[in-house]
């Protein structure tokens, strides 16, 4: 029996309470008529996500149109809440979620360590960009790319004064006037990226200078909320913001813009099949769709950065794609984020409390 036939037989084995685990790394699956039939027999798939509600609904609607008979139940909340909810469900031996996605890259390294993910990936994963955004063991794959920038209020920060380098952020004129998100790993990504790019000695010397700027730890909402506060004029500058947020608002006329810095920190929001899913076949089908070119184009149209190299970002975002704008991108994998989380937290506690 060849691998594809073997996998199909496993998918159709309705007596199995969950998808099989494969010890030898990722098992790649294709969408077959048998898989579609099995998904339709389940009739529903539960999707936990931290993307905007409008995008989640567009993905769900397009999927349901392509595969009539399979309903997507979207459960949308912030990345940290998605993470907490899955942990609570596993702690209580509950299995509600089938497919999980969060913007916080480190979550999936933790999910994997806890044994909460399958090792099944759709064939489309092989086409994803960047390559190191897909887990070698098949536990998760990049769904969307995150480029980190500074956001600034264009009424408060004239074009000639916009910080364009990391060193510019240490200018005394910005002391007490900058904020960064406190509730996610944004600050960690900023520091880890520079530690990775510059080495420990140079990075630590810079962090000590930056700490003198008295950066505000914004703990009243998400990174998106912080951008809204910049627009309102509460903070002239926000550090380590997802690039698409200020650009989307700028496109609607808000007094905000984004600025890249070299190197540009980047990470990936990831997507995974949850082990023990109640609707495993529908989960396979939804994962394939979201990571397919069709699904990624929907995401790009919603002004998110696609993970696939063969799907271009929206025109409104094209100007800040690092390689096109002349900047170096420094991708930080979920595993590196997890490994350096504790040591970076010590830096934050010492210098940026």
The more confidently predicted of residues 44 and 336 is 44
CB count, 10 Å around CB of 150?
A: 26
pLDDT tens for 209-267 read 999 999 999 988 888 899 999 999 999 999 999 898 999 999 999 999 999 999 999 98
**Rounded to an integer, what is the distance from CA 198 to the centroid of its chain?**
24
Q: What CATH number does the domain located at 147-266+323-351 have?
A: 3.40.190.10
d(CA 352, CA 190): 13
62 and 37 Cβ atoms separated by less than 8 Å: no
pLDDT tens for 83-132 read 999 999 988 988 899 999 988 878 888 899 899 999 888 888 877 766 67
d(CA 279, CA 42): 6
Q: What is the mean pLDDT of the chain?
A: 88
Is the confidence at residue 133, as pLDDT, over 50? yes
Q: Which residues pair with 265 in a beta bridge?
A: 330
Q: Same CATH topology for 3-145+268-306 and 147-266+323-351?
A: yes
Q: What CATH number does the domain located at 3-145+268-306 have?
A: 3.40.190.10
Query: What six digits make up the tokens of 209?
Result: 């200078």
d(CA 2, CA 261): 50
Specify the pTM: 0.81
Segment among 33-37, 66-70, 121-125 with least mean pLDDT: 121-125
Which residue is it, tokens 């490994």? 339
Domain boundaries, the chain: 3-145+268-306, 147-266+323-351
The more confidently predicted of residues 61 and 325 is 61
Query: What six digits make up the tokens of 32?
Result: 């077959």
pLDDT of 184 reads 67
Question: Angle between the 341-351 and 186-198 helix axes, to the nearest 10 degrees?
Answer: 100
Which residue is it, tokens 């070299």? 262
């Amino acid at each position: 029996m060849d691998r594809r036939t073997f996998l199909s037989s496993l998918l159709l084995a309705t007596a199995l309470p969950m998808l099989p685990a494969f010890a030898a790394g990722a098992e790649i699956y294709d969408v077959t008529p048998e898989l579609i039939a099995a998904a339709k027999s389940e009739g529903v798939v539960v999707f936990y996500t931290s993307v905007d509600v409008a995008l989640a609904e567009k993905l769900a609607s397009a999927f349901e149109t392509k595969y009539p008979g399979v309903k997507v139940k979207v459960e949308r909340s912030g990345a940290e809440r998605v993470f907490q909810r899955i942990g609570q469900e596993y702690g209580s031996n509950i299995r509600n979620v089938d497919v999980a996605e969060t913007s916080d890259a480190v979550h999936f390294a933790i999910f994997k360590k806890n044994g909460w993910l399958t090792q099944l990936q759709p064939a489309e994963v092989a086409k994803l960009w960047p390559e190191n955004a897909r887990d070698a063991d098949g536990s998760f794959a990049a769904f969307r790319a995150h480029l980190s920038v500074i956001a600034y209020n264009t009424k408060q920060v004239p074009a000639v004064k916009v910080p364009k380098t990391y060193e510019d952020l240490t200018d005394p004129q910005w002391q007490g006037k900058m904020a960064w998100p406190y509730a996610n790993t944004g600050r960690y990504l900023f520091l880890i990226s520079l530690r990775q790019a510059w080495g420990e000695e140079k990075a630590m010397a810079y962090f000590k200078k930056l700490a003198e700027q008295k950066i505000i730890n914004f703990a009243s909402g998400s990174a998106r909320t912080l951008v809204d506060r910049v627009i309102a004029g509460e903070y002239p500058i926000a550090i380590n913001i997802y690039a698409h947020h200020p650009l989307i608002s700028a496109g609607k006329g808000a007094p905000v813009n984004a600025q890249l810095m070299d190197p540009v920190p980047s990470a990936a929001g990831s997507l995974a099949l949850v082990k023990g899913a109640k609707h495993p076949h529908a989960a396979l089908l939804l994962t394939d769709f979201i990571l397919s070119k069709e699904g990624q184009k929907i995401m790009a149209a919603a002004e998110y950065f696609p993970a696939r190299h063969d799907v271009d970002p929206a025109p409104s975002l094209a100007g800040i794609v690092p390689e096109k704008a002349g900047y170096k991108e420094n991708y930080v994998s979920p595993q590196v984020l997890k490994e350096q989380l504790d040591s970076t937290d010590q830096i934050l506690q010492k210098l940026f409390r």
